[in-house]
Amino acid sequence: MVNLFFEILEYLADGKFHSGETMAKHFNVSRVSIWNAIAKAEGIGVKIFSVRGKGYKLQRPVSLLNESKIKNAMGEEGGWFNIKVLDTVDSTNNYLVKAVSSDYPHASVVATNIQTQGKGRRGRQWQSALGESLTFSFLWRFTQGAAALSGLSLAVGVALIRALKKININKALLKWPNDVLIFDEGQYKKLAGILIELQGDTDGQSAAIIGVGLNLNISKNQFKKIDQPAIDINNLLPDQIDSNFFMAIIIKELANVLASFEAEQFKLFKDEWLSYHAFQDKPINIILGNSQTISGKAINISDTGALIVSTDEGIKSFASGEVSVRSTE
């Protein structure tokens, strides 16, 4: 029934009305089967309108992820990656964490059309409603240990900026250590987030599970659930982007960055990252893991991706923390 439900969603993706009778004939099932499948919609947060005499329609057209379409958009490079698109999952990172133990192949991508319990930093959730976000995780196996992967989330941020430039979004900025922002209407709004989970030895081989959530076409209802200013791709482009085309671009940019990172680590990307740094030379607060707040000015990034801050007590370096820009008024 789940498979039929998502086949129906793909059928309804154009945002137009389709009758239950027409769909029953198309899928060679009974109208009751169509009704039962659609009745499951609300359980996973999908709103389908039903109008007597017209049939069923989605609230608006959606662009669903599809493995074949992503690979086709990648051309010859599509065959280099193990790409899997799930209909729905609790978390793409969780999925890959479990898969890694079963020797899941290098350069694997797991994306989902609906994510119900996505993970963000500091215990936050990243939910993904149908067609509203690009939500995926990327498995990359490194010959170095986890100790050599400092600054990886910053390098991934550079890859996302490069991908955004390919679709003519040129004003995206990076917030240390792992957010993509847009300065809009006088404030910084989050466009994407990165969450990396490492597995393996400190000094031996390791695997990075790189989770990315990128706002694509967020509904008003979903915006209300986000606990910080946010923006989506739909607000930045004149026309709706095809999610499979954009996903193909992101995968290629990520692979290029990760291959270079393995060879030369974060130092290679430092200058480029700084050129996108949203809070460069600005007054900031940084909240540490023990809830202590440090105030200062963000002045640089180290070769390993640490944030360098000028404080009243001198120059300090931070490997982790939650940063916000500080008003000087």
pTM over 0.85: yes
Query: What is the domain-level CATH number for residue 154?
Result: 3.30.930.10
Instruction: Tally the domains of the chain.
Output: 3
Instruction: Judge if 138 and 222 occupy the same domain.
Output: yes
Last residue of a domain, one of 58, 75, 90: 58
**Residue 43 is part of which domain span?**
2-58
* Model pLDDT, residue 204: 77
Same domain, 106 and 175: yes
Residue 77 and residue 218 in one domain: yes
The residue behind tokens 């050129």 is 275
Verify that 133 and 10 share a domain, yes or no.
no
What is the secondary structure of 46-108 as a DSSP string? Answer: --EEEETTTEEEESS------HHHHHHHHGGGGGGSEEEEEEEES-HHHHHHHHHTTTPPSSE
Query: What are the C-alpha distances in Å from 198 to residues 15, 148, 204, 208?
Result: 40, 11, 12, 5
Question: Which of 26, 62, 257 lies closest to 161, judged by CA?
Answer: 257
- Is 189 known to be catalytic? no
Examine the domain organization and report whether 25 and 155 are in the same domain.
no
Query: Which listed residue (71, 175, 190, 270) is catalytic?
Result: 190
Based on the fold, state whether residues 185 and 44 are members of the same structural domain.
no
- The CATH number covering residue 10 comes to 1.10.10.10
Each residue's pLDDT expressed in tens, for the chain with a length of 329 residues: 457 888 888 888 888 899 999 999 999 999 888 888 888 776 666 778 888 889 998 877 777 899 999 999 999 999 899 999 998 888 999 999 888 767 789 999 999 988 877 655 555 555 567 888 899 999 999 988 888 899 999 999 999 999 999 999 999 999 999 999 999 999 999 999 999 999 877 777 889 999 999 999 887 777 777 778 999 999 999 988 999 999 999 999 999 999 999 999 999 999 999 999 999 999 999 999 888 999 999 999 999 999 999 999 999 999 999 999 987 64
pLDDT at 158: 98
- Whether residue 259 sits in one domain with residue 170: yes
Q: Which of 31, 84, 189, 326 is catalytic?
A: 326
Same-domain status, 16 and 129: no
With b for 16 or more beta-carbon neighbours within 10 A and e for fewer, the 25-35 pattern comes to eeeebeeebbe
How high is the pLDDT of residue 119?
A: 57
Is 252 a known active-site residue? no
- 163 and 71 in a single domain? The answer is yes
Looking at residue 304, which CATH number applies to its domain?
2.30.30.100
Q: Do 265 and 304 share a structural domain?
A: no
69 is catalytic: no
Residues 151 and 239 in one domain: yes
Distance in Å from the first CA to the final CA of the chain:
58
CA–CA separation, 151 vs 303, rounded Å? Answer: 8
Among 57, 121, 165, 297, the active-site one is 121
pLDDT, tens digit (0-9, with 9 covering 90-100), for 126-176:
556 788 889 999 999 998 888 889 999 999 999 999 999 999 999 999 999
Q: Are residues 34 and 154 in the same domain?
A: no
